[in-house]
Amino acid sequence: MKRLLPILILLIYVTGCNAAGQVTEEAQENRHEHTEITVSAAASLTDALNEIKTTFEEEHPDIEVTYNFGSSGTLQQQIMQGAPADLFFSAAEDKFDELVNKGYIDQENGVDLVGNKIVLVTPKKSKNGIEEFSDLNDKAQKIAIGTPKTVPAGKYAKEMLENIGEWEGVKNKMVYAKDVRQVLTYVETGNVDAGIVYNTDALISSKINVLAAAEEGTHTPIIYPLGIINESKKLEEAKAFFDYMQSDKALTILEEYGFSNLLK
């Protein structure tokens, strides 16, 4: 019996270590078990969505949100070319509607969530005397807007300038950017005399002057639709994010960044 005792103790120790190791491995695996979803979103949503990511993941620790930010037109093309995306948050209805019409998003899995407006901005230390859109022809040498074909903010800017009779006088002064954040950078660094950006982008910069907002009716209403991509392999998790974006908590954050709540 004395000989067997050390062997029994050793067996108990080894068994306990194996069990403990197994529990640790299982806990480690469970701790890292989560599903990643990709949201293709307009660049103008960057700051608001990064804050929403934090609050969403606190409530859904099993879901990790990854964003693909860019111009809505570029993101739309990426989705049509098969780029992985679970949701599309567009800054333009036409880009979104095209995906609906071509079967990439079902109408019932989409919602017009928030609105925005476009504003005229100049560098903080600007002394060129620009105060209104009508000043651009005489007082600006370079004006930045997003490329109208792919950047909704640029499309709205061109449409507005055409409707107020200013486009022909300024079209040769245009510096086109890949998205609205690049427009903002051109203005902040003084590489252009003025730019037209979303109000939400203007609000986050301390390096610019916000001079005027486009009048209602001078361009297509700026509406941001959100929808679930039909080909998503994570529909349940995508639906959780889709629903969360319509919650009071998410909409309050969006409003704090200057977006208007279209669900009110």
Same domain, 202 and 123: yes
**In which domain, by residue range, is 182 found?**
118-213
Same domain, 184 and 137: yes
Residues 6+ apart with CB under 8 A from 103: 230
Same domain, 202 and 126: yes
Same domain, 183 and 64: no
pLDDT at 37 over 70: yes
Residue 102: which of 123, 88, 115, 113 has the closest Cα? 88
The total domain count for the chain is 2
Same domain, 142 and 64: no
Model confidence band, residue 40 (pLDDT cutoffs 50, 70, 90): very high
Sheet-wide strand order for 118-123: 174-177, 143-146, 194-198, 118-123, 208-213
14 in a domain, yes or no?
no
| Mean pLDDT, residues 19-23 taken together | 47
pLDDT at 3: 53
* Alpha carbon distance 79, 136 (integer Å): 37
pLDDT at 136: 98
Model confidence band, residue 30 (pLDDT cutoffs 50, 70, 90): very low
CB of 257 closer than 8 Å to CB of 241: no
Query: Among residues of the chain, what percentage have pLDDT more than 90?
Result: 87
pLDDT at 139 over 50: yes
Model confidence band, residue 23 (pLDDT cutoffs 50, 70, 90): very low
Query: Among residues of the chain, what percentage have pLDDT more than 70?
Result: 88
Same domain, 154 and 182: yes
pLDDT at 170: 98
| Mean pLDDT, residues 128-141 taken together | 97
Instruction: Give tens-digit pLDDT for 187-201.
Output: 999 999 999 999 999
21 in a domain, yes or no?
no
CATH number of domain containing 160: 3.40.190.10
Instruction: Give tens-digit pLDDT for 93-113.
Output: 999 999 999 999 999 999 999
9 in a domain, yes or no?
no
Model confidence band, residue 33 (pLDDT cutoffs 50, 70, 90): confident
pLDDT at 34: 84
Q: What is the DSSP letter of 189?
A: T
pLDDT at 28 over 90: no
Same domain, 151 and 175: yes
pLDDT at 26: 46
Same domain, 232 and 111: yes
Average confidence score pLDDT of the chain: 91
Cβ count near 252 (within 10 Å): 12
18 in a domain, yes or no?
no
Joined together, the tokens standing for residue 240 give 């959780």
Same domain, 111 and 122: no
Instruction: Give tens-digit pLDDT for 42-89.
Output: 999 999 999 999 999 999 999 999 999 999 999 999 999 999 999 999
* Alpha carbon distance 228, 110 (integer Å): 7
pLDDT at 153 over 70: yes
Same domain, 245 and 189: no
| Mean pLDDT, residues 165-172 taken together | 98
pLDDT at 8 over 70: no
47 in a domain, yes or no?
yes
Same domain, 76 and 103: yes
Q: What angle (nearest 5°) sits at the alpha carbon of residue 70, between those of residues 258 and 226?
A: 60
